[in-house]
């Protein structure tokens, strides 16, 4: 009954002299095993990257650090602008009686955005319509008078002058024939000349009536044009990005009302120094960093202005951004313009997805010979592409790194600069 007691005591960490030889040997074998487990457990918490396992979804891809053959580049600041943007201004004086919406509201083409009071113009149009009606009545009267002179000349009748105080019929039957037959020279008048003068006079009245009609019609067209200017229509599908007036404001011609833009397509406008223009060609892609969540994309050279600024010696260049990028007009952006004059030496480049951040300290996981991750601090340079960043120190060309940090080995570090 004693042996079992000794065996039971030998199962612990104490070993006594009364123990049997076989039991003492097994106790010394158990002690190193316990120490090894303790050391491994401590190292696991002190250096989690050394003992990290692959995530459940599979082993992260391992890539080889490549050398960049790109030449040097210069980072230039610019502003994001809309591909289409207009400023609607007042064309006539008046009071703003309608605003379609506020900043951020979207509208279709030909929608009314701003309306100015048009009561005064409508009153002027009614007056112009009355003048047009008078001119049309004058035309009708002049036409009748002209036709009457053609078919029944008034030069043959003495009733217009009242004759010599005698009845009209007596004047027409005796006075006029006697004066034209027996009076010497032109005392009695020439009926042919009188008739031509009357016809010309009535024709002049008809022409003047037509001119009055044309003037009235022109005045109506001018008022209609001003009436159209009281309404500001959306020139294309877009949104209001800035509103400068409110309902009830009195505006004058040329005063800005709203800024309207199409935000579907965005561009970056940059003033590029003349010495860097040799490295830019229309259609080429350059890296761009947007001031929204550290977003990096590739932008296409869309437009190069033909002239340079005489004071700053820069050329305006516009770069097309991909569709659905975050942000909007007015946002700051950085464009990496190639510098062909710089002698660039090859540098290691890695995908930005491999970089982890803690504050301002970047690091990557280097793959060991047995493909285990080992954390290493690096110093980063500029981007050489949409998602490739240069490494100034900490890595060599040919080393292997994890393209995506393995899951569960962050240790307080974060991806993409987020804590």
pLDDT tens, position by position, 7-45: 333 334 333 443 333 433 334 333 433 333 333 333 333
Backbone angles phi, psi at 228, to 5 degrees: -65, -35
Element holding 205 (H helix, E strand): helix 191-229
Count the helices and strands in the chain (H runs, E runs).
6, 22
Q: What's the mean pLDDT when you consider all of the chain?
A: 77
Q: Do 62-69+346-415 and 74-82+261-338 agree at the fold level? A: no
Is the CB of residue 278 less than 8 Å from the CB of residue 122? no
Give 26-48 as a DSSP string.
HHHHHHHHHHHHHHHHHHHHH-T
Q: How confident is the model at residue 176 (pLDDT cuts 50, 70, 90)?
A: low
Outline where 322-419 has alpha helix (H): none
- As a whole number, mean pLDDT of residues 346-352 equals 84
Concatenated DSSP letters of 54-72: --TT-PPPEEEPEEE----
For the cut 50, the answer to whether the pLDDT of residue 53 exceeds it is no
**pTM score, whole prediction:** 0.55
Q: Report which of 109, 121, 119, 114 is spatially closest to residue 98, judged by C-alpha positions.
A: 114
pLDDT tens, position by position, 91-139? 999 999 999 999 989 999 999 999 999 888 999 999 999 999 998 898 8
Was domain 62-69+346-415 assigned CATH 2.40.420.20?
yes
Among 71, 206, 224, smallest CA distance to 148 is for 206
The class (CATH top level) of 74-82+261-338 is: mainly beta
CA neighbor of 213 nearest in space, from 142, 121, 118, 119: 142
8 A C-beta contact, residue 173 and residue 166: no
pLDDT digits (tens, 9 = 90+) for 261-313: 999 999 999 999 999 998 899 999 988 888 887 788 889 999 999 999 999 99
Q: Which two tokens stand for residue 263?
A: 């935000």
Tell me what pLDDT residue 189 has: 55
CA distance 155 to 190: 9
Task: Map out the domains of the chain as residue ranges.
Answer: 2-46, 62-69+346-415, 74-82+261-338, 121-228
User: Could you tell me the pLDDT band of residue 399, with boundaries at 50, 70 and 90?
Assistant: very high
């Amino acid at each position: 009954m004693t042996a079992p007691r000794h065996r039971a005591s030998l199962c612990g960490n104490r070993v006594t002299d009364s123990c049997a030889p076989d039991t003492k040997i097994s106790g010394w074998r158990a002690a190193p095993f316990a120490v090894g487990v303790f050391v491994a457990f401590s190292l696991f918490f002190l250096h989690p990257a050394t003992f990290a396992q692959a995530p459940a979804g599979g082993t992260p891809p391992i890539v080889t650090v490549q050398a960049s053959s790109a030449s040097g580049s210069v980072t230039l600041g610019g502003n994001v602008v809309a591909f289409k943007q207009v400023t609607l201004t007042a064309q006539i004086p008046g009071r703003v009686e309608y605003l379609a919406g506020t900043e951020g509201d979207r509208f279709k083409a030909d929608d009314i955005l701003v309306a100015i009071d048009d009561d005064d113009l409508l009153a002027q149009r009614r007056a112009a319509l009355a003048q047009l009606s008078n001119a049309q009545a004058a035309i009708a009267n002049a036409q009748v008078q002209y036709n009457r002179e053609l078919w029944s000349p008034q030069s043959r009748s003495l009733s217009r002058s009242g004759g010599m105080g005698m009845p009209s019929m007596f004047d027409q039957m005796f006075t006029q024939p006697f004066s034209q037959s027996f009076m010497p020279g032109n005392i009695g008048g020439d009926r042919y000349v009188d008739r031509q003068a009357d016809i010309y006079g009535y024709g002049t009245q008809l022409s003047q009536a037509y001119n009055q009609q044309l003037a009235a019609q022109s005045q109506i067209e001018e008022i209609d044009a001003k009436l159209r200017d009281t309404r500001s229509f959306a020139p294309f599908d877009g949104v209001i990005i800035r509103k400068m007036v409110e309902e009830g404001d009195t505006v004058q011609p040329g005063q800005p009302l709203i800024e309207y833009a199409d935000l579907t397509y965005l561009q970056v406008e940059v003033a590029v120094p003349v010495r860097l223009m040799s490295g830019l060609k229309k259609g080429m892609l350059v890296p761009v960093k947007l001031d929204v969540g550290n977003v990096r994309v590739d932008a296409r050279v869309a437009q190069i202005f033909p002239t340079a600024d005489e004071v700053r010696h820069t050329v305006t260049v516009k770069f097309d951004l991909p569709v659905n990028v975050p942000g909007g007009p007015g946002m700051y952006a950085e464009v990496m313009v190639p510098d062909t004059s710089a002698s660039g030496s090859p540098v290691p480049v890695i995908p930005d997805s491999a970089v982890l951040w803690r504050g301002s300290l970047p690091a990557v996981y280097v793959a060991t010979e047995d493909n285990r991750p080992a954390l290493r601090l690096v110093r980063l340079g500029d981007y050489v592409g949409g998602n490739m960043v240069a490494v100034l120190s900490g890595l060599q060309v040919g080393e292997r790194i994890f393209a995506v940090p393995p899951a569960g080995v962050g240790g307080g570090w974060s991806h993409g600069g987020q804590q």
